[in-house]
Chain A
């Protein structure tokens, strides 16, 4: 009996500290405790400390605590104007998203539309594209040189399309950017409402409309609410759309106001930025709590089966519903995208005709302008390293979270989700505050380098990988692993031969999401970059601010190409998985 082993020692070793093989080594109980302590310290340092610093700064006066910044804010006319714009924009775009999303979800869940798979992908496209790419395509589409303007010229010379640079324009782009969130939430809820309930209402004498309002709607409401609140949060968080469309015409929302405060520097820039951030953060946290509650409420239907059968036949209505849906979706995404691409191929902004076509803009951003090329390199490097680090840490953490759930790792998950829950701009500011001087008197020189972007990306996107990992692990019963142990497989072999082959598809799709999000990130990078560490998003933002629309559209078109390549890769991956029969 020389072999002393506590079951789960290697399982309990903490994620942050030991790397993958290290943590699998058999550890003494003292070693395990050190691991746990290191993990707690890392979690507090990376995920909790930034928020604490932010809040502290916002209440710091010249002598001790004070609410000066807040008092000052509340007296500013600009603050109230921003609050009003924020409210109108967030409420308007949420409403638009909910209406579009619920309509789409109902059609997709209950009617006998054809080509549902393709429609589904087309709807997701709006959300997969980074918000600033969608914004650029709409501003190219609707701009004075755009296609709409050209069409209007035909009817009435001098007629101008509606300007995207307005509150309405921001609401519209945000609404179409976020409606897939509502759609995704609602479509599953609708499919899970048992048909029998509707039939029971029918036999009870309720007609089609009465059934919908008395049975279907109340049952779907928690899901719709959860989707709506998610859109509310996303709109609050969004920086790209108001920065591209609002800032040039002096419309600010909270996220762009914080950005302007910090960029504007000045003596108390950080203090005022921090207090604004606390306000924005509090609204976001309240929204998150409400969202969490409504998700929990809609989870009651979780055990129910997803029913894919159509319940309403479109019949003769098919002839207008089908084209309307397809036309609408193509109109809001594909056509503006092509408008943007066509703009990026122009020699000069005003020029017309074939002679004005050129690849010059692409040559400029890729070859002639070293800083753009640098930004592409930075973004690729950052997103790949973020992917690798998140994949390893996130997978291990998800493993403990699923297999050894405890209060400790539940709290850790909560902490890790904070950077993603908070609006990006708020998180970015808190990163600056921490990394300028992590421990009083020590400046590691990370602020202003690519490293701070890397740390920020990992902290913000780690939760995405963890969620993908938790979903993947939850689908693999613990007995699979136990069967391997009984068969004599040690930890290394269990991961290599059993767990990874089964989990890889789920883990990789999470990793791909992290990669794409990091590649096109704008909000956090906009505050944290410095010369030499700019990213693709920042480069596009820079071109746009300097009025170089041709270059910004060209770079955006490149991004779109990259995203499609990534999506294609994911599709191939899924096909591969299906063939191996892992799903069953």
Chain B
């Protein structure tokens, strides 16, 4: 059952929340809608659910129009499931009753499910791993268990479409990683289409088949996670999703010479979108740079801040009058002069891309390895971050401060949050996901660690 949005827009008073959105979602597809708060992503989701009515345009589910500017099928008549940000569990019902409610209440519940109600409830509870807790009340559950109940309730009547509104944002960082896996397995088992709203690019990149990046009520770019991450088409996508530095310089024939570098330096430009070329910009992800001692030539910069992250270092580098963020396994000290390179040639770039492409996050098994790696890396690194702004010369030093005080994450957040993060992207996000994109493209970074 496909979902089609045609020229859908929505205004609240004088505020235009959505501006003529066109989008279609295929049967069984996992689509993530990614954007900063206020970009209209939640409005879009609530419109699919039927809580909001479009001001113009129309929405069709499975070929029949469910909403236009004049009429809208109410949520209770659409065959959808929804998982809410704050779980929305009813405090007076136990888990079993939660899952039973939509099966009994929804008029569209297939007969087959209705007839074997008890069996279906147990099946769903087993799927989310709560079979043992069926008699518990919501207040007796942990955050992760609550979210599992919410998911179980949403999928119980086998909806054709499952909507998720930032389902992980009320969970703590560690739990979020586990729940990603959980949601992926729900997607595999149920085969229903999922529309997943999030402001966390890590969640979108790791789970979705397709990502819709939104900004100010408009779609910025639609594509697979790899396309979005590796080949951003707008400045916003480059900054928001890949946290890219936008380097100023000049283009000639697909080759880029950064400002302040000696004129013989050329960076390969095949994968760079036209939007950047016309503005004389070159997007570079923090992990894309290769740092070498200053003698190596190319573009020179000075290290103005160092944060040890366990697996690699986060450097703030000042070059050609700009500040850039670089993630690199190479060890340098504060105030070192370095030379910045883009590991060369289009040839290599194109050989890397397919390799990464084959590890499609939607294939679900492969990303687990890098994700787990990231998880351990980031948890190990958090005390180390206390060393902010000191030259991280002695790796032993963190151990002395590793009585991880509760303040540590806060420090991480504020100090890591780089200038490249656009306004609106939550700091907490940059904290626990900063290492992860580099996890996906790890094959690309060379040796040394």
Residues of A with Cβ closer than 8 Å to B? 1, 3-7, 477, 479-480, 482-490, 493, 497-498, 501-502, 580-582, 584
Residue B305 is within 8 A (CB to CB) of chain A in the complex: no
Nearest chain B residue, comparing its CB with the CB of A482: B51
Say yes or no: B70 contacts A502, CB within 8 Å: no
Q: Inside 8 A of B36's CB, which chain A residues have their CB? A: none
* Beyond A482-B84, A584-B138, 7 extra complex contacts between A and B, CB < 8 Å: A7-B74, A477-B86, A483-B150, A488-B109, A501-B92, A502-B90, A502-B91
Say yes or no: B105 contacts A487, CB within 8 Å: yes
Q: Can you identify 12 A-B contacts, CB atoms within 8 angstroms?
A: A1-B64, A4-B71, A6-B53, A6-B72, A477-B88, A480-B90, A482-B82, A485-B50, A485-B74, A486-B102, A488-B108, A581-B139
Say yes or no: B74 contacts A483, CB within 8 Å: no
Q: How far is the CA of A493 from the CA of B101 in the complex (A)?
A: 11
Nearest chain A residue, comparing its CB with the CB of B150: A483
A582's contact among B64, B91, B153, by CB below 8 Å, is which?
B91
C-beta contact mask, B79-109 vs A, less than 8 Å → 1, else 0? 0111011101111100000000110011111
Q: How far is the CA of A4 from the CA of B52 in the complex (A)?
A: 14
Q: In chain B, residues 103-144, which have Cβ atoms closer than 8 Å to a Cβ of chain A? A: 105-109, 137-140
Q: How far is the CA of A5 from the CA of B67 in the complex (A)?
A: 10
Say yes or no: B139 contacts A486, CB within 8 Å: no
C-beta contact mask, B415-435 vs A, less than 8 Å → 1, else 0? 000000000000000000000
Nearest chain A residue, comparing its CB with the CB of B92: A501
Nearest chain B residue, comparing its CB with the CB of A577: B92
Nearest-Cβ distance from residue B98 to partner chain A, whole angstroms: 9
Q: Inside 8 A of B68's CB, which chain A residues have their CB? A: 1
Say yes or no: A479 contacts B76, CB within 8 Å: no
Q: How far is the CA of A5 from the CA of B82 in the complex (A)?
A: 21
Residue B296 is within 8 A (CB to CB) of chain A in the complex: no
Say yes or no: B90 contacts A7, CB within 8 Å: no
Q: How far is the CA of A333 from the CA of B220 in the complex (A)?
A: 70
Residue B65 is within 8 A (CB to CB) of chain A in the complex: yes
Say yes or no: B80 contacts A486, CB within 8 Å: yes
A5's contact among B52, B71, B86, B92, by CB below 8 Å, is which?
B71
Say yes or no: A490 contacts B76, CB within 8 Å: yes
Q: How far is the CA of A7 from the CA of B75 in the complex (A)?
A: 9
Interface centre among B52, B105, B109, B139 (most CB of A within 10 A): B105
Interface centre among B73, B75, B86 (most CB of A within 10 A): B75
Given known contacts A580-B92, A581-B137, A582-B91, A483 and B84 CB-to-CB distance under 8 angstroms: yes
Say yes or no: B75 contacts A486, CB within 8 Å: yes
Nearest-Cβ distance from residue B160 to partner chain A, whole angstroms: 13
Given known contacts A479-B88, A502-B92, A487 and B51 CB-to-CB distance under 8 angstroms: no
Residue B18 is within 8 A (CB to CB) of chain A in the complex: no
Residue B281 is within 8 A (CB to CB) of chain A in the complex: no
Q: Inside 8 A of A488's CB, which chain B residues have their CB? A: 76-77, 102, 105-109, 157
Q: Inside 8 A of A5's CB, which chain B residues have their CB? A: 71-74
A485's contact among B70, B76, B92, B154, by CB below 8 Å, is which?
B76
Say yes or no: B71 contacts A486, CB within 8 Å: no
Say yes or no: B88 contacts A582, CB within 8 Å: no
Q: Inside 8 A of A582's CB, which chain B residues have their CB? A: 91-92
Task: Across the A-B interface, give the 6 residue pairs with the lowest CB-CB distance, nearest first.
Answer: A488-B106, A584-B139, A487-B102, A479-B88, A4-B71, A483-B88
Q: How far is the CA of A479 from the CA of B75 in the complex (A)?
A: 13
Say yes or no: A7 contacts B105, CB within 8 Å: no
Q: Inside 8 A of B85's CB, which chain A residues have their CB? A: 479
Nearest chain A residue, comparing its CB with the CB of B78: A486
Residue B213 is within 8 A (CB to CB) of chain A in the complex: no
Q: How far is the CA of A482 from the CA of B50 in the complex (A)?
A: 10
Say yes or no: B91 contacts A486, CB within 8 Å: no
Residue B303 is within 8 A (CB to CB) of chain A in the complex: no
Given known contacts A480-B88, A501-B92, A582-B92, A486 and B49 CB-to-CB distance under 8 angstroms: yes
